[in-house]
Structure 1
Amino acid sequence: MLYQPPRQRDRLPAPPAAVGVPVRFNIGTAAVDRWAAVEPGRVAVLDLHGARPATATYGELRDRSDRLALALRRLGVAAGDRVAVFLPQGAAAIVAQVALYKLGAIVLPLAAVFGPEALAYRFADAGVSLAVTDARGAARIAAIAPAPTTLRDVVSVDGRDGAVLGLDDLLDRETGPFVPVDSASADPALMIYTSGTTGQPKGALHGHRVLAGHLPGLRFSHGGFPQPDDLMWTPADWAWAGGLLNAVLPALYHGVPVVARRGEGFDADGVFRLLRHHPVTRAFIPPTALRMLRAAAPEGCGPLRLRSVTAAGEALGAETRDWARGALGCAVEDVYGQTECNYVLGSASARGAVRRGAIGRATPGHTVAVLRPDGTRCEPGEPGGIAVRRPDPTLFLGYWNRPEATAAKFIGDWMTTGDQATMDRDGYVSFLGRDDDIITSSGFRIGPVEIEECLLRHPAVAAAAVVGQPDALRTEIVKAFVVLRDGVAPSADMAEAIQRFVRQHLSAHEYPRAVDFVAALPMTTTGKVMRGVLRGRG
């Protein structure tokens, strides 16, 4: 093993306080450059992708991101431009994001599971001017038809290939250093797409302050964080708000190295090997992944070095929580939020801030309530909608080019989440469910519209609707109800072909794991699909 944690006597330089968000703040300089200035040899990323572990230091991340920022500026990237980062876990993903933050561009992180159609929509909606990716991602981008009109260049970490530029070739032409933009904390920095129920996914635009806003919650949930020998890992894609903002960027900000591990799907045995053989002390693991670990090794595989684990994206469940405490050797803390406003609720066993059956209470820096539809607060125990009051440091700036959708998200100064819950007299929130058609599967929140539109592009499909079906492992799975075209017979082979079509064209986490062929879809008199009726069919 190449990586050894720092000795316990080594001291961590104290990071700036994050109780109040500073007026001037830049994610790139805060997460990387600040540490590179005082301890350039400090390990920032432990990459387990190759035959042997490799490390990247804060100094290396700073220098490469400086040179990349210079190269991208030479290619015409300017402040406010939307640039896609379509990369798996690894130092290259950090370098690309940090370079763009320093430039003042808007980072559009894209999940490795996205196929050409999912990419095409996001590229067109955001007006992406450049993409940083690898050879696999470049091939998917090349498959977009018609080609995105705003996309000028594609840069690949795997080298030049035809019209695709090679990252190392660009870096070799630059010497640095780069002077980062003097960004305000509210300047746009990051856009993550979130699925809706009445249309295509929406881009939730965040300012640089989003990182500062996550720091108090992370320290609240991870008791005693950071420690000198801490090491952070998450199986979540670094393009997902949970992976990026609940783990990677806050860990780097605090000088804690992050583990990068890539692979196809979730490999429970591989995860246990990772936890046994590498000194991971902190982790963000979605509930579905925890349930998979439990199924693979009911007794665990200790002893492990874990001090704390957080989970978010779906209900954890008491049985999984109890198993994890024994098998992993530490408590699993619930964390709650949305792409639009994240890490607003949480539990913290080390602080005594935990109540069985509850998500947790408001984390430091956030005001959370359960509201009636008219915006008044519910009484303790009364069901209502979870809402977060602005101003809030992790609150999005708005949906990209959708002012009406942004306005509809609020009741006065309260951002509504669409999640139903109760709150007790001590402020602990217990989750009840969604009040719309969002499907929660393996931690992902999935809107039905994008999947339905993909299904309709299959030559055998005349009409389609998708809903969430309860599932013990994933909370819900995507279930499709499909009306076939005349002359096409339903069969198991046809169902598999439809599943494969969505998986290839959209993404691996959105394809329907169940397909029912029906003669017609239930419709309202105004022509809307009655998804509630479909959910009742099981």
Structure 2
Amino acid sequence: MELRGLGLLYNAADLFIDENVNRGLGEKVAIYYRDQLIRYQDLQEKVNQAGNMLRELGYKMEDRIVMVCHDTPEFIYVFFGAIKIGAVPIPVNTMMQPSDYEYFLNNSRAKGLIIHEDLWANIQHLKDRFLFLEHIIVINESVNKLPDGTIDFYRLLNRASKMLETAPTNRDDAAFWLFSSGSTGAPKGIIHLQHDMEYALNTYAKQVLFITEEDRCLSASKLYFAYGLGGGMYFPLGVGASTVLVKERPSPETMFQAIETYKPTIFFGVPTLYGAMIDYALKTGKRFDLSSLRVCVSAGEALPPAFYRKWKELYNVDILDGIGSTEALHIFISNRIGDVKEGSSGKVVPGFDVKIIDNQGTELPPNEVGDLVVRGDCIAHGYWNLHEQNKKKFVGEWLHIGDKYYKDEEGYYWYCGRSDDMLKVGGIWVSPIEIENCLLQHDDVLEVAVVGAENEKNLVIPKAFVVLKDGIEGSKEKEEELKNFAKQHLAHYKYPRIIEFIDELPKTATGKIQRFKLRELLKTNAVQS
């Protein structure tokens, strides 16, 4: 259907929700959540009710709604209910500081906030500082009386009609926003369009994971992240498969329990979680049944080869490491089932084009390190209200990722670090990832991050911040042991000249190490000294 001036009508909720019922999957389980089995017919009705609830409150096309929601079915109801009426849901991280929500709400100018009760309790004291907010809709899972000035989510939802007419959106309308994780500074509002999820589904999910209706997905990465949004929601819904939602934080124990209970076939994790799960299994001596898994996925940071090898040894299932970004929506370079080159990010996903370029924009030959750029039809429309950053990041069809990479002769891509993380030691570029992967092979090392520090001659040297495994004490002797270990496995100029033992590394909630915070720590210490 085409309306004059609108182009071809298209709405993502039709594809990911309604189409499954239309093709006879209404009785199939769409969502496993605790002891609930939510079938596609139930899901469609709840999505429609959520959309009608928002319409009743006066929400129209392009109105923005911030979602501060746990990984529960309500997240999916609200997300697609908003999209179906042409409004723009903005899921945000549930683990931020109260001031961060003031930033999200005021930066996006959202009219509505839909939030779980326990999360509202943490930020309600800032209510008068939310400049554009008109409605606070609280998802109340207890019998407690709701705070004054808020709206009961379920009271409105349950009285809303289960029939909903789709708004006349088209492929290029804004569908949803995501905020960047803040690994390089303040989060940026990233605008994705109606067609973006379908493109990511048809490329990575269908042509790399070979996802089908028979699959069951479990994502440790939460739904408010681009990675989790795909793996935990629109990938399975896009093919009529099932998803498992876990509200709790993704600890090793929680994830092992979820895998054994719900028996997913695809598991989406991040490198730090895989490392923690391996360490937990070895430390406790427990044997976990992961036989339901046919494939595991990793993204967010480069997967250390030691993690891949140990996971494969323990559970006989591949971890497909890859790279994606919030701006690109999901993974665009990945290893393949039966074709894993450990330590690499794999090869380009069909449907995307990738180049490695120098500072002048010239494509580099194999084995030369440069800046990674990508193009594909799920690249974001752009950043909200960031004109200068848009010009630098989105150049024509190409998205500048901000990562240093090289491609080998066989077409595998190798991550060298963020563009601003690379170290020039003795006039030679050094990747912090290479040093980190080396130290992670030592039996006593749990986590490590390498940044550049200046010595007394103002020359850059590699410094490693190391988290040791439980029961291992940091000492001068341990520092020398790790330095000598690195010297045995790396070119001499690459070994870390300084090692500092710390309790934990600064990370985003996706598990990305925030090296910029470690660099800031070095500067602060230098000023104080």
TM-score (norm 1): 0.75
Give aligned-pair identity as a percent.
Answer: 21
Deviations 1:222-250 (A, max 9, x none): 2x42152x211011111011100244211
Decide which of 150, 168, 179 is 1:182's aligned counterpart: 168
Equivalent residue number for residue 75 of structure 1:
57
- The reply on whether 1:318 has 2:305 as its aligned counterpart is yes
Determine which structure has the larger helix proportion and give its number: 2
CA contact (8 A) 1:138 1:164 kept: no
Partners of 1:397 and 1:150 in 2: CA distance: 23
Equivalent residue number for residue 254 of structure 2:
270
CA contact (8 A) 2:62 2:88 kept: yes
Aligned residue type for 1:344: F
Aligned residue type for 2:206: R
Moved over 3 A (4+): 22-25, 195-199, 410-413, 437-441, 468-474, 506-516, 529-537
CA contact (8 A) 1:301 1:327 kept: no
Deviations 1:362-410 (A, max 9, x none): 1011001111111110011111011013xx2220001011222111114
Residues 247, 214 of structure 1: alpha-carbon distance in 2 compared, 3 angstrom cutoff: farther
Equivalent residue number for residue 200 of structure 1:
186
- The reply on whether 1:335 has 2:317 as its aligned counterpart is no
Partners of 1:64 and 1:242 in 2: CA distance: 24
> Where does 1:347-362 land on structure 2 (aligned, <5 Å)?
347-350=335-338, 352=339, 354-362=340-348
Residues 71, 276 of structure 1: alpha-carbon distance in 2 compared, 3 angstrom cutoff: closer
Partners of 1:471 and 1:364 in 2: CA distance: 38
CA contact (8 A) 2:232 2:245 kept: no
Equivalent residue number for residue 269 of structure 2:
285
Residues 236, 536 of structure 1: alpha-carbon distance in 2 compared, 3 angstrom cutoff: farther
Partners of 2:134 and 2:294 in 1: CA distance: 46
Equivalent residue number for residue 306 of structure 1:
293
CA contact (8 A) 1:398 1:406 kept: yes
Displacement of 1:357 in angstroms is 2.9
Residues 473, 181 of structure 1: alpha-carbon distance in 2 compared, 3 angstrom cutoff: farther
Residues 270, 68 of structure 1: alpha-carbon distance in 2 compared, 3 angstrom cutoff: closer
Equivalent residue number for residue 245 of structure 1:
230
Partners of 1:294 and 1:386 in 2: CA distance: 31
3-state SS in 1 of match to 2:212: coil
Displacement of 1:115 in angstroms is 2.5
3-state SS in 2 of match to 1:150: coil
> Where does 1:507-526 land on structure 2 (aligned, <5 Å)?
none
- The reply on whether 1:374 has 2:360 as its aligned counterpart is yes
User: What's the RMSD between the two structures over aligned residues?
Assistant: 3.5
Partners of 1:40 and 1:77 in 2: CA distance: 28
CA contact (8 A) 1:158 1:167 kept: yes
Equivalent residue number for residue 12 of structure 2:
27
Displacement of 1:31 in angstroms is 1.3
Residues 317, 473 of structure 1: alpha-carbon distance in 2 compared, 3 angstrom cutoff: farther
CA contact (8 A) 1:288 1:473 kept: no
3-state SS in 1 of match to 2:402: strand
Residues 100, 533 of structure 1: alpha-carbon distance in 2 compared, 3 angstrom cutoff: same
Displacement of 1:470 in angstroms is 4.3
Partners of 2:208 and 2:184 in 1: CA distance: 34
- The reply on whether 1:88 has 2:74 as its aligned counterpart is no
Higher RCO, 1 vs 2 (CA within 8 Å, ≥6 residues apart) = 1
Equivalent residue number for residue 344 of structure 1:
332
Displacement of 1:513 in angstroms is 12
Partners of 2:56 and 2:154 in 1: CA distance: 15
Equivalent residue number for residue 394 of structure 1:
378
> Where does 1:112-511 land on structure 2 (aligned, <5 Å)?
112-144=94-126, 146-158=128-140, 160-195=146-181, 200-215=186-201, 216-222=203-209, 224-226=210-212, 228=214, 230-263=215-248, 265-298=249-282, 300-302=287-289, 304-341=291-328, 342-350=330-338, 352=339, 354-389=340-375, 392-436=376-420, 470-471=465-466
Partners of 2:415 and 2:51 in 1: CA distance: 43
Displacement of 1:514 in angstroms is 13
Aligned residue type for 2:313: G
Equivalent residue number for residue 499 of structure 2:
none
- Pick which of 181-190 and 366-375 moved more: 181-190
Displacement of 1:330 in angstroms is 1.1
3-state SS in 2 of match to 1:344: strand
Equivalent residue number for residue 452 of structure 2:
none
Partners of 1:71 and 1:85 in 2: CA distance: 15
3-state SS in 2 of match to 1:243: helix
Partners of 2:8 and 2:309 in 1: CA distance: 42
CA contact (8 A) 1:346 1:360 kept: yes
Residues 196, 239 of structure 1: alpha-carbon distance in 2 compared, 3 angstrom cutoff: closer
CA contact (8 A) 1:247 1:283 kept: no
Residues 231, 473 of structure 1: alpha-carbon distance in 2 compared, 3 angstrom cutoff: farther
CA contact (8 A) 1:44 1:256 kept: yes
Aligned residues: 443
- Pick which of 155-164 and 314-323 moved more: 155-164
Residues 59, 469 of structure 1: alpha-carbon distance in 2 compared, 3 angstrom cutoff: farther
Partners of 2:313 and 2:116 in 1: CA distance: 40
Partners of 2:396 and 2:464 in 1: CA distance: 34
3-state SS in 2 of match to 1:349: coil
